[in-house]
Each structure stands twice: as structure tokens, then as C-alpha cells.
Amino acid sequence: MRLILIRHGQTPANVDGVLESTVPGPGLTALGEEEAAELPSRLADEKIGAIFASTQVRSQLTAAPLADSLGLTVEVRDGLKEIAAGDGEGSTDRPAVMIYVRTFLAWIDGNLDVRMPGAEDGHEVLGRFDEVVAEAETLGHDTIAFVSHGAVIRTWAGTHSEDLGSEFFRTHFVKNTGYVILEGSTADGWHLESWQGGGIFDTALEPDDSPAAGTEDDPA
């Protein structure tokens, strides 16, 4: 199965560099709506059989134009939501953002026991995402799209791809409406086919101010 992991369009929290992981959370900016509207043309060559989105409204709004273009219904699953910010929720403070970024980077390095202060550990985050992947695999489609969130996409891809070491995922992020394609299965493993992290409008956020685009050197 080919799995296309798409980050949602731009939100006000992204622009302001806010740690935002609430449900349902904010919607899209005008630019985010434009990004979402461009997804059907950008993915026109993909034979997508099903589309899943998280319980956070920004992912559902991003998925809607793509689903409409394919005559599909967006399947909403809590397991695809963003990594909870816990004690840092709502913060733009650099130390809080650093804690958030360093925590999910630790998971990519294999340290899943590390807990986001006030929230989930790596086992919990990957477990809930894995459940949706397992459900998707039962549908029998060659290609399925998940519209999800930057940090959780990096973390899941970084811990499941058998092609690249953790350093790649520590230094590569996914801008709004950027996407990552993996091929494989839970049973046989996943291989990174494509990293299209730039987003629909690559210069829309330069740099991307959201914490999900962070590295340890420059987390936000």
C-alpha cells in the first residue's frame, strides 16, 4: 500500500508560531484555504482510494477539496491528531517550543519512553497513529491519503521508514500542505518513496514559523 501523509494548510497558529494541539482547534487562514484548493491538482496523478483526517478541523478542511474531487468521504480519526503540546499548549515561548521539538525528535531517535510534559509519550502517539494505518490497510486500496499534522507525520515516518536514519527526519520537515509518501505494510515494513515537504506554495511561509517545522538548532 502507498500511504500519502499530507500536512494541513496554514492556520493562524502556524503564522504566529503557537504550540497548538487542541481539538477541534483553529481553522485555516485564507492562504490555507488556497493551499487546500490546490491539493486535487497537485495529487491528480495519484489513485487515492480513501482519505482520512484527524479530529482537528484544520485537517478536515484541508482534506475536503481533495475528497470532493474524488467523490470520497473524509474519514475522521482521533489517532491522526497532532502530538499534544501538554504543558506547553498555547505557548510561543522559545524554551517551551524547544521542549516540544526535542521530545518528538527523541522519539525519532528511538527513545519512545520520553514523555511530552503533561501529555503523551512516544508509545502512545505512535500507537494511536498505527491503529489508523492498520485500519486503512484492511480497505484493500493501493493508495490512501492521511491529512494530518507536521510533527506527528515527521515522527511516524521517522520511526517507520526503513530507508533512512533518524538524522534525515531530524532535519527535514513538512510545510503546510507538503506531503510524504511511504510504501509497504505494517507486516513487511515501510519504505520512503517521496518527501515533498515544501508545500503547495513553497514561499508562503519562509521560514515556516510553526513548531512542527522545528529542529533543535532552530525549532520555530
The whole-model pTM stands at: 0.90
| pLDDT on residue 198 | 60
Query: Per-residue pLDDT tens for 83-103?
Result: 999 999 999 999 999 999 999
Residue 164 has pLDDT above 90, yes or no: no
Euclidean distance between CA atoms 52 and 212, whole angstroms: 20
Q: Identify the bridge partners of residue 194 per DSSP, sorted by sequence position.
A: 181
Q: Which domains, ranges and CATH numbers included, belong to the chain?
A: 2-213 (3.40.50.1240)
Residue 218's SS3 state is: coil
Q: Give the rounded percent of residues in the chain with a pLDDT score beyond 90.
A: 82
| pLDDT on residue 150 | 95
Residue 43's SS3 state is: coil
The alpha-carbon radius of gyration of the chain (Å, integer) is 16
Q: For 69, list phi and psi in degrees, rounded to 5.
A: -65, -25
Q: Which grid coordinates are listed for 68?
A: 470532493
